Structure 1
Amino acid sequence: MLKELKSDRTLSQNLMLASSTAFVAGMTNVAGVIAFLTFTSNVTGHVATLARHVVERNFHEILIFFVWLFAFFFGAFVASFLIWSFQRRSRYVAHAAPVVLEIILMVPIAVYGHQFYKETDTEREIIIGAMLFCMGLQNSLASTISGGLIKTSHLSGLFTDLGSELAEWLHPHTEKTEVLRNKLYIRFTILGFYFFGGLVGAYLFNLYDFMIFYLIPLVLLTIIAYDLLPLLRYRLTRPGSRNTQ
């Protein structure tokens, strides 16, 4: 799921990456809305709110929203920087590094939210910033390794691409190519799993509060483990290994 670049990726690899990251983004966004009354998987709405605060001269809010926007941007920057830094050593390591960093950040968010969160404005602002950084990491990673095909932290661009590609598919004068069909599969997968993640996030947050944030690192671990399990199986079953003697 992580070790191949755009030119070498199969449809199943793209579908698995799209579904898992869209599920995480949907869950994160809905949980953020319920817990903090703000979006935590994208910055589109934050730009509009920032403009309102600028007009109203709410200087503290202006600073906070600038920090949140920068957090998402910096997450994307860090993901790409990590990929370029480890690319020569191992493509898998390069692509797994942003996911590992996202897990490292999401676990403390879950622990702090579940055990220590007192609902103060400062706590809320810091946690939202950390979650936006994580979504910037994830969105940049998925976009980079899929050649821009997979972006799962927001749906505005998705609906634009889906509308354009669906019109092309349904138009009587266009060719129904496999590439176009696969793109539609991926778009609908992202949409479906983002919505499904949102449903799961809302349902579980109402039951277990911040404990649902423990689920997000587990889903991210499956992304990392997908490429490791075949290698581990091979090493355990290859001729000469202890398990085959």
Structure 2
Amino acid sequence: MLRQPKEKRTLKHNLMLASSSAFVAGATDVCGLLAFLAFTSNITGHVANLAKNIVNQNYHSIILFSVWLSMFLAGAFVTKFIVKSLQHISYYKAHSVPVILEIGVLIFVAVYGNHFYDETQQEREIVISAMIFAMGLQNSLVSNVSGGLIKSTHLTGLFTDLGSELADWMHPRTTDRAEVRRKIYVRVTILAFFILGGFIGGYFFDEYEFKVFYFVPVILLTIIYYDLLPLIARKIYQIVYPTKTDNSSLKN
């Protein structure tokens, strides 16, 4: 899911990345809403709240919403900077480092929420900032990997793209319906798994609260290990069935 550049990605790669990342985004967003009454994967509402508080001259809220917007921006910036810095070495390393960083942030949320969180306003604001930063990391990564096709953390743009692509698919003058259909599959997958992640995350948050954030990184780990499995299998095969060249070199 992370090794292939955008021009070599197949529909399977995009569907797997879309489903796993959208599930994480949906679970994180709903858990954030239940825990803090704040959205953590969608910053559109925070922009509206920032404007409202500027009008009302509520300076604490102005600073708060500015920080939250900056955290999403910072997450996107960090991902792109890491990818640019490492992609000449390895596409896999360039794309896996932001995922590892996101896993670290979500584990921080799990540990802090389970062992240290006292439900103070300041703690609430800090934990929300961390979750928004994680979603900025993720949204920038999947967008970069897929060439802008996948944006997993918010659905406003998704519905816009899906509506346009449905129009293209149904229009008699469209020449490449197969390509449009592949894009529609990706959009519907994002929507379905965002809802599924939100449902499952919300259900288990009611039962286990912040312990849910120990589970969410497991989904992200599957993204990392999916690309490692063929390499591991090849290494094992080479050990079990060494080539003649390897055997002769061992004798020498």
Bin for the TM-score computed over the shorter chain? over 0.9
Paired AA for residue 126 in structure 2: I
| Aligned sequence identity (%) | 56
What is the match of residue 12 of structure 1?
12
What is the match of residue 48 of structure 2?
48
Secondary structure of 2:3's counterpart equals coil
Paired AA for residue 166 in structure 2: L
TM-score (norm 1): 0.96
* Separation of aligned partners in 1, 2:177 and 2:7: 17
Secondary structure of 1:142's counterpart equals helix
CA contact (8 A) 1:22 1:193 kept: yes
CA contact (8 A) 1:42 1:153 kept: yes
What does 1:176-215 align with in structure 2 at a 5 Å threshold? 176-215=176-215
What is the match of residue 145 of structure 1?
145
What does 1:60-139 align with in structure 2 at a 5 Å threshold? 60-139=60-139
* Separation of aligned partners in 1, 2:173 and 2:92: 41
* Separation of aligned partners in 1, 2:86 and 2:171: 43
* TM-superposed deviation, 1:32: 0.5
* Separation of aligned partners in 2, 1:173 and 1:80: 37
* Separation of aligned partners in 1, 2:197 and 2:221: 16
What runs of 5+ residues in structure 2 fail to find an aligned partner?
248-252
Secondary structure of 2:202's counterpart equals helix
Tell me how large the CA RMSD over aligned residues is: 1.2
Secondary structure of 1:42's counterpart equals coil
What runs of 5+ residues in structure 1 fail to find an aligned partner?
none
CA contact (8 A) 1:169 1:175 kept: no
What is the match of residue 161 of structure 2?
161
Paired AA for residue 181 in structure 1: R
* TM-superposed deviation, 1:176: 4.8
Secondary structure of 1:178's counterpart equals helix
TM-score (norm 2): 0.94
* Separation of aligned partners in 2, 1:97 and 1:224: 9
What is the match of residue 34 of structure 2?
34
Paired AA for residue 164 in structure 1: S
Q: Deviations over 1:188-235 (max 9, x none)?
A: 000000000010111001111111011111111000000001110110
Paired AA for residue 193 in structure 2: F
* TM-superposed deviation, 1:167: 1.1
What is the match of residue 240 of structure 1?
242
Structure of larger gyration radius: 2
Q: List 4+ stretches of structure 1 deviating above 4 A.
A: none
What is the match of residue 226 of structure 1?
226
* TM-superposed deviation, 1:125: 0.3
